Amino acid sequence: MRTISYRTANYSPGQVPTDPKDFARYLREEFDKLSVSITQLAAGHLDPELVAPDKPRDGDIRYAAGAPNWNPGSGRGLYIYKINVWTFLG
């Protein structure tokens, strides 16, 4: 069984096995990854974003990675999107 990363709230599905014997292990690993992601999000964890969202909506909250990646105005930190502008929260 692969080690689950507890550093991120992002979830990426793994490759579905072709051998039916491996399907139970695959499901267990996917459920573990989903559980970690949901727990991290419920605890308020946000991973630093390297790029701005394609279609932000009012109320979106992101943790910008800052320069040289995504810098919405005040460098690395927490931002909220409201009235078509990213506003620095800290």
Give me 77's structure tokens.
């930190």
CA distance linking residue 18 with residue 79, whole number of Å: 42
CA distance linking residue 34 with residue 21, whole number of Å: 22
Cis peptide before 68 (omega within 30 of 0): yes
CA distance linking residue 33 with residue 3, whole number of Å: 10
Please check whether residue 46 is in contact with residue 60, taking contact to mean a CB–CB distance below 8 angstroms.
no
pLDDT band at residue 6 under the 50/70/90 scheme? low
Q: What number is the average pLDDT over the span 75-80? A: 96
Please indicate, yes or no, whether the overall pTM of this predicted structure exceeds 0.85: no
pLDDT of 7 reads 63
In angstroms, the Cα distances linking 84 to 32, 56, 60, 65, 87 are 37, 8, 11, 20, 10
- pLDDT, mean over the chain: 89
pLDDT of 1 reads 47
Give me 60's structure tokens.
């979106």
- pLDDT of 15 higher than 70: yes
Percent pLDDT > 70 in the chain is 91
